[in-house]
């Protein structure tokens, strides 16, 4: 597992397919601030709440100069169903082999009900215009997290 990212680190580059199969890359957002968030699975209650919160606040975030990219290990087809079912406006990309999640330290050991297993660690990384990590939030809660980010970023 990778070391957790810290402010000032260069954000790992990635190019992944979105819900429509189009490539989305961090480099494609150069010169913009980007909120990259990792979530375990589309069409689950917590991940739906989080994605809906980002969608509901997308205009506010975009107005402050932030793009939002959600990354999960789901297939592009499942992401398309998720987007349609929940009317999501955030960019959702597929990381089925979890390589990008690993590079962001958003994949690793988790504990739930006394069991230890490997999985996606709900995380949000804010990348500045120069491709450097501005903020790194790990083990975040699905509910209330977007409001906390907005507050922390002073938006």
Report how far residue 51's alpha carbon sits from residue 53's, in angstroms, rounded to the nearest whole number: 5
- Catalytic: 52? no
DSSP 10: B
Report how far residue 88's alpha carbon sits from residue 39's, in angstroms, rounded to the nearest whole number: 15
Sequence-ordered alpha helix ranges (H) in 32-75: 45-56, 58-63
Check 35, 36, 42, 47 and give the catalytic one. Answer: 47
Report how far residue 126's alpha carbon sits from residue 75's, in angstroms, rounded to the nearest whole number: 24
Sequence-ordered alpha helix ranges (H) in 57-138: 58-63, 76-86, 99-103
Positions annotated as catalytic residues are 47
């Amino acid at each position: 597992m990778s070391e957790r990212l810290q402010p000032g680190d260069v954000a790992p580059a990635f190019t992944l397919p979105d819900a429509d199969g189009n490539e989305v890359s961090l480099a494609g957002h150069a010169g913009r601030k980007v909120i990259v968030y990792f979530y375990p699975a589309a069409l689950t209650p917590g991940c739906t709440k989080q994605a809906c919160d980002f969608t509901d606040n997308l205009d506010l975030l975009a107005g402050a100069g932030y793009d939002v990219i959600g990354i999960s290990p789901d297939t592009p087809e499942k992401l398309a169903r998720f987007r349609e079912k929940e009317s999501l406006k955030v960019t959702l990309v597929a990381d089925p082999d979890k390589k990008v999640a690993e590079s962001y330290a958003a994949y690793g050991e988790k504990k739930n009900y006394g069991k230890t297993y490997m999985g996606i660690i709900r995380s949000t990384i804010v990348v500045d215009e120069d491709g450097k990590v501005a903020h790194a939030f790990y083990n975040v809660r699905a509910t209330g997290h977007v409001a906390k980010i907005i507050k922390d970023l002073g938006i």
